[in-house]
Structure 1
Amino acid sequence: MNLKSRFQSKIDSVRIDHTAPHLDVAIGDKLISWFPSVPREYVVVCIGTDRSTGDALGPLVGSFLTEMKPRHLSVFGTLEHPVHATNLHEYIKEINHVHKNPFIIAVDACLGKTHSVGKIIATEGPLQPGAALNKPLPAVGDVHLTGVVNVSGFMEYSVLQNTRLAIVVEMAKKIAGLLESIDYRLIHHRKAPAVVVPQIKSSTL
């Protein structure tokens, strides 16, 4: 679980509500634009725990995506085998051992402002997991996806425990579908679907 800051405006990112049409194209185009020109081994690291409703977004994404059997994305972090605070260091070592020069897409839940709940955010650069709960964890990812599952500001741990499962599951399905579309585009030379997507205005969390 990370915490989106209003001071991140200089970082390249795009955010859109999880119910918006053509979500996979809008965010997918941005993600693909950040991918290296020379193909690497692509790894998705889904961070979180099934012991907290709000923080289960990552493991749910990992489980849904694994069921889709992606061909060019290796997935770490599922409901059965979650990647969380106590084993993150070990998973990072394993990923770097198994994959040569991996390009990592990190996925995590986050807290934000009221009007941002339900938004999915793609950001260039690493994710800082555990920030919302003041846990000193290593930064993860070359790019990252986060879903705003609830409101920040007070008793974050309790907020996570009392987050509605319905919105977390729905957002996890959308993120998994987005990543499946990324996998498809990697297979087919990154050609984007022929869909016209309106410009997305950024907003502050």
Structure 2
Amino acid sequence: MSIALSSAFDYRIHYKETGIVWKLSTFFLEHIPFDKESLVFYCIGTDRSTGDALGPLTGSHLSESLIFPFPVVGTLENPLHALNLQENLDKTESAHPSPFIVAIDACLGKSESIGHLLFQNGPLYPGKAVGKELPPVGDLSIKGVVNISGFMEHAVLQSTRLHLSFEMSRIIARALQLAYGRYSM
């Protein structure tokens, strides 16, 4: 769970926007090297908090897909979180020479940003919203603004509607699958 810094993002779009899956797949085609052998998806978060479940939900959707061939780290069954992040980064580094990591995480932001998906070239900083110091992750960052920041972040995460995290994760996963399918053609 990180905090959205509005000016730092290359692209932002609301998850209910018309044509969202196609628009995101086009963005992904332009920014994700699907031809790279060491492409890995890091889906950060926990299944113990509805507000922080965006990453594991996305990871579960991707890992269950028969048409998505890339390694996915972080699912509902095996979440990628603060306690195992560094260990997984080390494993990825040893298994994949110079990997390209797409990092996916939930974040908190302004009330008018809830429901927005934010993308930037470069890493995200997991745990920032709840005051944790974790290593930066990713060559491309995908964040979903699930609730407001600024006050009692742990309570805010616990009271976030699961429906929002679920819908946003489904859209991210479908767009990634479509982007790979378009790339493969």
Task: Tell me the TM-score normalized by structure 1.
Answer: 0.84
Residue by residue, what CA displacement relative to the aligned partner does 1:61-109 show, whole Å, maximum 9, x if unpaired?
Answer: 0001111134442111000000000000000011111222211110000
1:13 to 2:6 alignment: no
Match of 2:44 in 1: 47
Match of 1:181 in 2: 178
1:105 to 2:102 alignment: yes
**Which amino acid in the other structure matches residue 52 of structure 1?**
S
Contact 2:147 2:160 in 1 (8 A): yes
CA 53–12 in structure 1, closer or farther in 2 if over 3 Å, else same: closer
> Structure 2 stretches of 5 or more lacking a match?
none
Match of 1:123 in 2: 120
Shift of 1:38: 7.0
> Structure 1 stretches of 5 or more lacking a match?
189-205
Equivalent-residue separation in structure 1 for 2:169 and 2:177 (angstroms): 12
Aligned with 1:66: secondary structure?
A: helix
2:149 pairs, out of 133, 152, 160, with: 152
Contact 1:14 1:27 in 2 (8 A): no
Give the total of aligned pairs.
185
Shift of 1:36: 4.9
Residue by residue, what CA displacement relative to the aligned partner does 1:146-191 show, whole Å, maximum 9, x if unpaired?
Answer: 1110011101111001101111111111111111112213322xxx
Equivalent-residue separation in structure 2 for 1:88 and 1:184 (angstroms): 29
CA 114–130 in structure 1, closer or farther in 2 if over 3 Å, else same: same
**Which amino acid in the other structure matches residue 137 of structure 2?**
V
1:67 pairs, out of 64, 82, 88, with: 64
Match of 2:165 in 1: 168
Equivalent-residue separation in structure 2 for 1:72 and 1:100 (angstroms): 18
Task: Tell me the TM-score normalized by structure 2.
Answer: 0.93
Root-mean-square deviation (Å):
1.7
1:2 to 2:6 alignment: no
Equivalent-residue separation in structure 2 for 1:67 and 1:160 (angstroms): 26
